[in-house]
């Protein structure tokens, strides 16, 4: 079985596996400059992962997957990986860092093939280290497969217990690897790929959008509620049967693929090479519950949901926010980038001019280099910097998409006042986040969520704003122009569509083996 080298001093471990039909082109372990868990947590819900797959014989599928992951970089910046099928061989390369840091042209040229599976990771189950990077590649009696997962299982402990006889083969602490071993076991029981994938999925409870590469083609699957998004499209002409699957439509756009449809909640799709008609079947039936934070914040504004770009939806929630929470002010500004469309909508309805009051450093990405305490005290602004020429002497309405912990929002308000704003009125284009997510978003326990601990007036005082208001839940879902019941809104109301054991709520590192963190 393929495994990630856990020794940080071995930068280029080229591992030849015992199984001749399965090879690992490169498994590298990049030591982090510092533990990312120790970094100051931002005020946002932290990312879901991104998955991408392409099946296109004759094309440079590794390069296409690189660009697909590049488009999905916003969904996870901790690690990236690509597995490429070349006849009976699989080449896998994954490492810590951004897509552009993990891959270069030399690496991609060493990964020829017809089918590729890619993944960007942000850790929601399992810590941030290379052994937890994806895709997961395993061998079966039918040949190798590669699996990439976006989401989070709420029955991971139960699933792991049922796979305890395989515990010696586990190489990570992720629920994604458990799904892969469940699939391997189903194939080992005599099932074909299609039936085995359905059997493995039936053992999972929670959020899981999967792309799976096999010798029999590409599979794409969503959990019954469809909590995390997954779409598919065509590269080239339909008769060529060159299929692409992506977490978002922006992954299709970047490589010139045409959108065909969403992978529906509870659907399994089998794409075969040069087959213009994929096999689509429902493997389970549950109420649709797309994570509403995909609409508000996670997905790129140019990605399309329900037939339109998210930019249009985010403008509308800004318009709804202006109608619900008017205030007298001189300018409206948005917190880049996700707050900008809502700020434009707020401006259009309120009549208050929109202005760029905050400049974002778009080249920062996720840094593991932490500023010193002296730098923090001096007010280092790594990502956002206010414009005094725009803000001085102005009553400012600042629009953001969410407040989770209140830490960076408080610093932002202080920076706006330092730049000369005479009043700061904060408006949030979503309801208060009062409950943690267990379906693929890294939010804290309730005692760390500011809206769960403090009243609106107490939050105002904590942030140092002249006024604070949130968008209503009705305003948020009505702006989507689809049925309000189609969304998971648990982080706002505690109405979890999938029940879970109390133990699941305790820690995102519930699967971490004792001592593993100390060894990496």
The CATH number of whichever domain residue 336 belongs to comes to 3.40.50.2020
Kindly state whether residues 206 and 347 are assigned to the same domain: no
Q: Which helix (H) or strand (E) holds 200?
A: helix 193-202
Tokens encoding 384:
């956002």
Q: 12-16, 59-63, 148-152, 341-345: which range is least confident on average? A: 12-16
The pLDDT of residue 43 is 62
Greater model confidence, 84 or 508: 84
> What pLDDT, on the 0 to 100 scale, is given for residue 42?
55
Residues 6+ apart with CB under 8 A from 381: 415
State residue 177's pLDDT score. Answer: 95
90 and 141 both lie in a single domain: yes
Nearest-angstrom CA–CA distance, 418 and 412? 10
| Choice between 99 and 382, residue whose per-residue pLDDT is larger | 99
Is residue 460 within 8 Å of residue 469, measured between CB atoms? no
Q: Which two tokens stand for residue 392?
A: 């001085």
Q: Do 192 and 324 share a domain, yes or no?
A: no
Confidence (pTM): 0.87
Q: Give pLDDT, residue 70.
A: 97
Higher pLDDT, 37 or 326: 326
Residue 266 domain-assigned (yes or no): yes
Tell whether 213 and 322 lie within a shared domain: no
Helix (H) or strand (E) holding 70: helix 61-71
Give me the DSSP letters along 383-435: SEEE-HHHHTT-EEEEEES--SSSHHHHHHHHHHHHTT-SEEEEEESS----S
Strands 243-246, 50-55: pairing is antiparallel
Same domain, 193 and 341: no
Decide the pairing of beta strands 143-153 and 206-214: antiparallel
Angle in degrees, CA 198, 204, 206, rounded to 5: 125
Q: What is the mean pLDDT of the chain?
A: 85
In angstroms, the CA 207 to CA 222 distance is 8
Distance CA 240, CA 53 (A): 16
Are 155 and 207 contained in the same domain?
yes
In this structure, the chain runs to a length of 520
387 and 285 within one domain: no
Is the domain of 217 the same as that of 332?
no
- Whether residue 382 lies inside any domain: the answer is yes
- Whole-angstrom CA distances from 156 to 295, 503, 515 are 27, 11, 20
How far lies 110's CA from each of 20, 84, 470, 490, in Å? 18, 10, 51, 44
Q: Among 45, 363, 68, 80, which Cα is nearest to 231's?
A: 68
How many Å apart are CA 511 and CA 348, to the nearest integer?
Answer: 48
Residue 501 belongs to a domain: no
Q: Is 378 exposed, middle or buried (0-12, 13-18, 19+ CB in 10 A)?
A: exposed
52, 198, 276, 351, 387 from 194: Cα distances, Å:
19, 6, 18, 56, 56
Domain hosting 435: range is: 313-361+370-482
Backbone phi, then psi, for 504, in 5-degree steps?
Answer: -65, -30
pLDDT for res 319: 98
Is residue 156 assigned to a domain?
Answer: yes
pLDDT digits (tens, 9 = 90+) for 461-490: 999 999 999 999 999 999 998 777 789 999
* pLDDT per position as a tens digit, 437-458: 889 877 667 878 899 999 999 9
The proportion of the chain whose per-residue pLDDT surpasses 70, expressed as a percent, equals 81
User: Which pLDDT belongs to residue 274?
Assistant: 72
CATH number of the domain bearing residue 123: 3.60.20.10
- Residue whose token pair is 């709520």: 505
pLDDT given for residue 30 in this prediction: 31
Structure-model confidence comparison of residues 326 and 30, the more confident one:
326
- Residues facing residue 52 across a β-bridge: 118, 246
pLDDT at residue 244 greater than cutoff 70? yes
pLDDT band at 292 (very low <50, low <70, confident <90, very high): very high
Question: Chain centroid to CA 489: how far?
Answer: 17
- When pLDDT is averaged across residues 157-179 and rounded to a whole number, the result is 91
Measure the CA–CA gap between 91 and 86, rounded to whole angstroms. Answer: 8
Q: Does any domain span residue 305?
A: no
Q: What is the pLDDT at residue 199? A: 98
What pLDDT score was predicted for residue 121?
Answer: 87
Cβ atoms of 312 and 457 closer than 8 Å: no
Give the catalytic positions in this structure: 49
At 213 the pLDDT is: 98
Phi, psi of 487 (to 5 degrees): -115, 145
Tell me whether residue 497 is in a domain: no
The predicted structure's pLDDT at residue 371? 60
Assigned domain for 81 exists:
yes
Cα–Cα distance between 166 and 333 in angstroms, integer?
A: 54
The pLDDT tens digits for 31-78 are: 333 333 334 455 666 556 999 999 999 999 999 999 999 999 999 989
* CA gap 214, 396 in Å, rounded: 55
pLDDT surpasses 50 at 13: no
pLDDT per position as a tens digit, 346-380: 999 999 999 999 998 866 555 545 566 665 555 54
Task: Convert the pLDDT of each residue in 302-322 to its tens digit.
Answer: 999 999 999 999 999 999 999
Measured in Å, how far apart are the chain's first and last C-alpha atoms? 20
186 versus 129: which is more confidently predicted? 186
Task: Give the side-chain half-sphere CA count within 13 A for 504.
Answer: 21
Which helix (H) or strand (E) element contains residue 457? helix 456-463
Structure tokens, 247: 């977490």
**At 505, is the pLDDT very low, low, confident or very high (cuts 50, 70, 90)?**
low
Domain annotation covers residue 11: no
Q: Distances in Å between the alpha carbon of 109 and those of 24, 64, 113, 136, 296?
A: 14, 12, 10, 21, 38
Are 178 and 139 found together in one domain? yes
Give the chain's domain count: 2
Is the pLDDT higher at 236 or at 191? 191
On whether both 207 and 111 belong to a single domain, the answer is yes
User: 228, 440 in Cβ contact below 8 A?
Assistant: yes
275 shares a domain with 414: no
Please indicate, yes or no, whether residues 236 and 89 belong to a single structural domain of this protein. Answer: yes
């Amino acid at each position: 079985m393929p495994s990630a080298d856990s020794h940080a001093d071995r930068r280029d471990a080229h591992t030849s596996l015992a199984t001749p039909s399965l090879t690992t082109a490169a498994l590298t372990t990049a030591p982090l400059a510092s533990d990312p868990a120790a970094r100051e947590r931002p005020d946002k819900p932290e990312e879901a992962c991104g998955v991408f797959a392409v099946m296109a014989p004759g094309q440079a599928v590794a390069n296409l997957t690189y660009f697909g992951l590049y488009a999905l970089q916003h969904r996870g910046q901790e690690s990236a990986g690509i597995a490429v099928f070349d006849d009976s061989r699989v080449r896998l390369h994954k490492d810590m860092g951004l897509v552009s840091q993990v891959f270069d042209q030399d690496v991609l040229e060493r990964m020829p093939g017809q089918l590729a599976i890619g993944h960007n990771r942000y850790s929601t189950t399992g810590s941030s280290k290379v052994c937890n990077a994806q895709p997961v590649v395993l061998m079966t009696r039918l040949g190798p497969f590669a699996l990439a997962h976006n989401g989070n299982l709420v029955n991971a402990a139960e699933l792991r217990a049922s796979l305890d006889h395989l515990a010696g083969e586990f190489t990570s602490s992720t629920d994604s690897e458990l799904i892969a071993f469940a699939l391997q076991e189903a194939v080992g029981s005599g099932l074909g790929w299609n039936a085995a994938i359905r059997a493995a999925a039936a053992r999972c409870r929670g959020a899981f959008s999967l792309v799976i590469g096999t010798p029999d083609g590409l599979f794409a699957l969503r959990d019954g509620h469809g909590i995390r998004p997954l779409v598919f499209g065509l590269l080239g002409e339909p008769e060529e049967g060159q299929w692409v699957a992506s977490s978002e439509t922006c992954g299709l756009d970047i490589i010139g693929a045409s959108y065909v449809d969403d992978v529906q909640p509870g659907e399994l799709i089998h794409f075969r090479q040069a087959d213009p008609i994929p096999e689509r079947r429902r493997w389970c039936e549950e109420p649709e519950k797309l994570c509403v934070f995909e609409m508000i914040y996670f997905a790129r504004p140019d990605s399309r949901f329900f037939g339109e770009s998210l930019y249009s939806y985010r403008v509308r929630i800004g318009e709804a926010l202006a109608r619900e929470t008017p205030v007298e002010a001189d300018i409206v500004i948005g917190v880049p980038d996700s707050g900008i469309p809502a700020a434009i909508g707020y401006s259009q309805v309120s009549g208050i001019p929109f202005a760029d009051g905050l400049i974002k450093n778009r080249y920062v990405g996720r840094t593991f280099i932490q500023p010193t305490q002296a730098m923090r005290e001096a007010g280092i602004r790594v990502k956002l910097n206010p414009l005094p020429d725009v803000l001085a002497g102005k009553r400012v309405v600042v629009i953001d998409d969410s407040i989770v912990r209140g830490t960076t929002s408080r610093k932002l308000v202080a920076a706006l006042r330092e730049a000369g704003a005479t009043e700061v009125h904060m408006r949030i284009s979503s309801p208060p986040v009062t409950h943690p997510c267990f379906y693929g978003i890294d939010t804290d326990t309730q005692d760390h969520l500011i809206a769960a601990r403090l009243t609106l007036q107490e939050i105002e005082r904590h942030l140092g704003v002249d006024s604070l208001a949130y968008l209503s839940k009705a305003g948020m879902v009505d702006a989507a122009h689809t049925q309000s019941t189609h969304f998971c809104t648990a982080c706002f109301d505690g109405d979890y569509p999938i029940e879970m054991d109390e133990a699941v709520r305790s820690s995102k590192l519930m699967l971490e083996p004792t001592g593993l963190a100390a060894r990496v």
